[in-house]
Amino acid sequence: MINRRKSLQLLASGFGSALGGSFFPGISQAASLGSSGGPKRVIFFMQNQGFDPKTCIPSGMKNSGSLAKAVLPEPIKALEPFKERLHIINGLHGIHTSPSHSAFFGALGGYRGSDGVPPSGPTIDYELSKVLPETLLPHLCIGMDSLENMKGKPTVANLSARGAGRPIFMHSNPNHLYQMLYGGISQGDIRSHHEARSGMLDRIEELAAAKGQSLPGADAQRYGEFVQGFDDINGLRERLGGVSDHLRNFAPKVDEAYTRPEFETDWHDRLLDLGVSALKSGITNVLTIGSGRGEIFGSWKGLGVEKQGHNLGHMPQPDNPIWVKIRQYNSRMLVKLMEELESVPEGSGTMMDNTLIVYTSNNADKQHTNGGNWPVMLLGNCGGAFKTGCFTQVEGRRPINALYTSILRASGVEVDRFNMTEKMAAKFDSGSGPLREVLA
């Protein structure tokens, strides 16, 4: 097994010395945290079309309590061996996000979001990327959809944002994402495509920057954000090239499913592999997975599900064989995430000991919803910060913002509210601060 603490120390020393030791302090910080448990990291897994509580709450369990003797429902049966790391939460709400069909950016932002509505502030995943130990790629977003959609729109922005009007793109074509992360250490066609794409992006940034100088002030500012996007991509490529020897230990094997997928799930699985590799290598500490990419579409023909898209949201989820298959597939992905992170030593334990996985929907409990109930599953305790092995029925009127406040608190940020003014809280939040029921 790879000793991640040693890998991160080598990564920090090599990269830091190449840049004068001041450009990348966060990796050094991550390495220094290893002996006391390692750097914390958070994964968000957002399934579209809603998350019906009956597909995750054990039968007959109405009050908060231990999961030790409970039997998990069939859709999440794969998590049965991991019950001691599971926390099922019911009773949060997101009425203020207008989640019918999807809350889009509002699902992770805790504010109003709808189709075509730009983000009004940063989302929790981006905020965490700023406060967790710094990495080469602070935040990675991957989006899973039908093959047609992933090929036609390899990047979309529906769930994550840096701030008001500043969406973050999800990567949906695993070939493009592989080239971005590992193209510099690859051979053959992948290396050739990486070099050609890199040269093109360098030229586009140069031309775009020159063009922007002739624009009026307001337009120049907007255009500057466009130019900054290319600068970010090119800068990441150069930084990854500087740690190529380290990355060779983690790059997934490229197979035919990358270039000739039979089903969309072939690409879903490869995207997950790339997300796992980014976490294990230390490239990122925050991963957001959008199954359905935050919209009302999505396809799972590889599971034998012929129906796709919007119609899936019009079906009841409990005891529905189609949704049982989709939720079981998600559960297997969650298991893979845990097992992969568990396989990597970190400090006195493993990477999973310092990780929190948040599984929910950008649609609250169902497609056509008012957001009155927003079920969530947590896996892992993020270095001992969260209670596990239990079910919590939230008392009072607490919004999803309170959960995000809890995650920020667990990450060392002293904050009482996330993206919610006192005026909004008076209407939508019966409490203040984090969810005491979930913090250890």
Name which residue leads in pLDDT, 9 or 402.
Answer: 402
- The answer to whether the beta carbons of residues 48 and 65 sit under 8 Å apart is no
What average pLDDT does this structure show over 399-410?
97
- The answer to whether the beta carbons of residues 321 and 310 sit under 8 Å apart is no
Residue 410 has pLDDT above 50, yes or no: yes
Q: Tell how strand 41-47 and strand 286-291 pair up.
A: parallel
**What is the amino acid identity at position 19?**
L
Instruction: List the structure tokens of 407.
Output: 């995650």
What confidence score (pLDDT) does residue 199 get? 53
Q: % helix / strand / coil in the chain, to the nearest 5? A: 45, 15, 40
Exposed, middle or buried, 108 (CB in 10 Å: 0-12/13-18/19+)? buried
- The answer to whether the beta carbons of residues 2 and 249 sit under 8 Å apart is yes
pLDDT averaged over every residue in the chain:
85
Beta bridge partner(s), residue 399 = 93
Q: Of the given ranges (71-80, 142-151, 217-226, 395-404), which has the lowest mean pLDDT?
A: 217-226
Q: Per-residue b/e over 235-270, b at no fewer than 16 CB within 10 Å? A: eebebbebbeebbeebbbebeebbeebebbbbbbbb
Beta bridge partner(s), residue 47 = 291, 361
Q: What is the pLDDT of residues 74-116, one digit of tens each?
A: 999 999 999 999 999 999 999 999 999 999 999 999 999 999 8
What confidence score (pLDDT) does residue 37 get? 63
- The top-scoring range by mean pLDDT among 125-129, 195-199, 249-253 is 125-129
What confidence score (pLDDT) does residue 389 get? 98
Residue 205 has pLDDT above 90, yes or no: no
- The answer to whether the beta carbons of residues 146 and 297 sit under 8 Å apart is yes
Residue 256 has pLDDT above 90, yes or no: yes
Beta bridge partner(s), residue 46 = 290, 360
d(CA 420, CA 426): 10
Residue 397 has pLDDT above 50, yes or no: yes
Instruction: List the structure tokens of 14.
Output: 């090599």
Reported residue count of the chain is 440
3-state secondary structure 244-308: HHHHCCCCCCCCHHHHCCCCHHHHHHHHHHHHHHHHHHCCCCEEEEEECCCCCCCCCHHHCCCCC
Q: How confident is the model at residue 245 (pLDDT cuts 50, 70, 90)?
A: confident
Q: How confident is the model at residue 160 (pLDDT cuts 50, 70, 90)?
A: very high
What confidence score (pLDDT) does residue 23 get? 29
CA distance to 50, 245, 384, per residue, from 376 (Å): 11, 39, 19
Q: How confident is the model at residue 5 (pLDDT cuts 50, 70, 90)?
A: very low
Element counts in the chain: helices (H) and strands (E): 14, 12
- The answer to whether the beta carbons of residues 29 and 133 sit under 8 Å apart is yes
What confidence score (pLDDT) does residue 26 get? 40
Pick the closest to residue 198 from 223, 181, 214 (CA basis). 181
What confidence score (pLDDT) does residue 187 get? 56
Question: What string of DSSP letters covers 62-127?
Answer: -S-EE-TT----GGGGGGGGGGGGEEEEE--B-GGG--SS--TTHHHHSS---TTPPPSS--HHHH
d(CA 130, CA 7): 22
Residue 196 has pLDDT above 50, yes or no: no
Residue 227 has pLDDT above 90, yes or no: no
Domain ranges of the chain: 50-62+76-92+325-351, 136-284+293-299
